[in-house]
Amino acid sequence: MKEQKKISKNKLLGIAGLAWMFDAMDVGILSFVIAALAIDWNLSPEQMGWIGSVNSIGMAVGALVFGVFADKVGRKKIFMITLLLFSIASGLSALTTTLAAFLILRFFVGMGLGGELPVASTLVSESVEAKERGKVVVLLESFWAAGWIISAIIAYFIIPDYGWRIALIITALPAFYAIYLRLKLPDSPKYTEKKSETRTIMQNMSEVWSKKYAKRTLMLWIVWFTVVFSYYGMFLWLPSVMVIKGFTLIKSFEYVLIMTIAQLPGYFSAAWLIEKAGRKFVLITYLLGTAASAFVFGSAETTTLLMVSGILLSFFNLGAWGALYAYSPEQYPTVIRATGSGMAASVGRIGGILGPLLVGTLVMRGYEIGYIFTIFCIAIVIGVLAVLFLGTETKQIELE
C-alpha cells in the first residue's frame, strides 16, 4: 500500500512537472526572444518592456479567473483548459509579423500560464501527505528551472542561426504532449470530497478576506507582489541587461544559460530545507539572498562579479519561488484554496506587469542598471518583512 502511494505521488509529480517544464520553456524563451526582437523589429526599450508586461497582464487575469473556477469545477478541468489555451497561443505567436499581434497572443499565453500554476500547486498540495507536501511542491517547481535551462540552450543554438520564430515553435509543441498526459490524471481527492458543497464564486472570494484569513491573505498578497515584481523585472531583462553591459547577443545568451543552471540546486536545497527548517525560514533566507545578489549584480563592473552574483541570484530567487508555491495553498481550507492561491498569484502578476515596464522606462531615461536593481532589492526586503511579521508556520500541518 505504501509503495502504491509512492508510485502515484511520483506519477503525479511527473505529469504535473512535465507540463510545468514546458510552460517554463516558453516563458524562458521569451526573455531571449525580447532581446532578438529588439534587433529584428528595431524595438525601443519601452516596447521591449511591454512584451514582458502584457504576458503578466494575461497571467493576472488567468490566475484570478481560473483560480476561482478551480474551486467550482475542479482542479483537473482547469489544469487541461489552461494548458490548451497556453499551447495554442504560444504556437501562433511564432507566426506574427507585427508587435501588436504578438502582444495580443502573449496575453493569451500569459492567461493560460497564470491560471495553471496556482491550480497545479493546489492539486499537488491536496494529493500528497502532510509530511512530504512542502518538499513535493518545491520539487514540482524545480521543473520550472529545467524548462528555463532547456529554453536557454534552445536560444543559444537556435536563435542566432534560425531565428526566434523557430525557437518559439520548438518550445510550444511539447506542451501538447503534456495535455495528453493530463487526461489520465485524477482530480484532487480533497476537492472530490468537498465538491458537494454549493458555494458561489463571490462567497469564496469574500471569505479569503474574512477575519480568520485576512492576515494570511495580506501577507500572501505582499509577498507575491514583491517576488513577481522583482523576478519578471530582473529575469525577463537578463539577456538584454547583459547586452547593455557590453556583451554580444550570443555571449549574453551563454552567460544567462550558466546563471540559469544555478536554479536547479536552488530548488533542490529549498526542497530539502522546507520540511526540516520550515516554510518561513526558507522564504526569508532565500529572499534575503535574492536581495543581496540583485544589489551586487546591478552594480557589478567585472565579468567575474557579474557571473557570481547572477548565479546566486538564480539560486536564491528560484528557491524562494518553490517555497512560495508550497506555502500559498496551505493558508486556506479546501473550499477556497484555489481561490485564495489564485487571487494572491493574480495580485503578484500586477507586479509582473510593472517590473519589466519599469526597467524599460528607466533604461530609456538613462538610469544605471545598478539603480534599477536596487529598487528590486528594496521590494524583496518588503516581502521578507511581510513573511516575518504576518506569516504563520505551516510545516507538516494537515490541510483543512
Name the residue with cell 534560425. 162
Terminus-to-terminus CA distance in the chain, angstroms?
24
Highest mean pLDDT among 154-163, 193-202, 220-229: 220-229
Q: Tell me, what's the pLDDT at 381? A: 97
Q: Is residue 37 part of a domain?
A: yes
- 15 in a domain, yes or no? yes
**Cβ-based burial of 132 (10 A; exposed 0-12, middle 13-18, buried ≥19):** middle
The answer to whether position 397 is within a domain reads no
The answer as to whether 400 is a domain residue is: no
Q: Is residue 399, in this structure, part of any structural domain at all?
A: no
Q: Measuring CA to CA, which residue among 242, 176, 329 is closest to residue 31?
A: 242
Domain of residue 99, CATH code? 1.20.1250.20
| Statement: residue 206 has pLDDT above 50 | yes
- Tell me the pTM: 0.81
Q: Which of these, 356, 355, 350, 358, lies nearest to 61 by C-alpha position? A: 350
pLDDT number for residue 380: 97
In a domain, 148, yes or no: yes
Instruction: Report how many domains make up the chain.
Output: 1
Q: Are 321 and 142 in contact (CB under 8 A)?
A: no
Q: What is residue 5's predicted lDDT score, i.e. its pLDDT?
A: 42
| 132 in Cβ contact with 123 (< 8 Å) | no
* CA–CA dist 167, 36 (Å, integer): 11
Look at residue 196 in the predicted model and tell me its pLDDT: 47
Q: Residue 291: which domain range? A: 2-390
Distance CA(166)–CA(91), nearest Å, equals: 10
Flag whether 262 is in a domain.
Answer: yes
Q: What is the pLDDT of residue 191?
A: 64
Q: Which of 60, 146, 67, 148 is nearest to 110 (CA)?
A: 60
Instruction: Tell me if 106 is assigned to some domain.
Output: yes
The answer to whether 398 touches 334, Cβ cutoff 8 Å, is: no
Please, which pLDDT band fits residue 343 given cuts at 50, 70 and 90?
very high
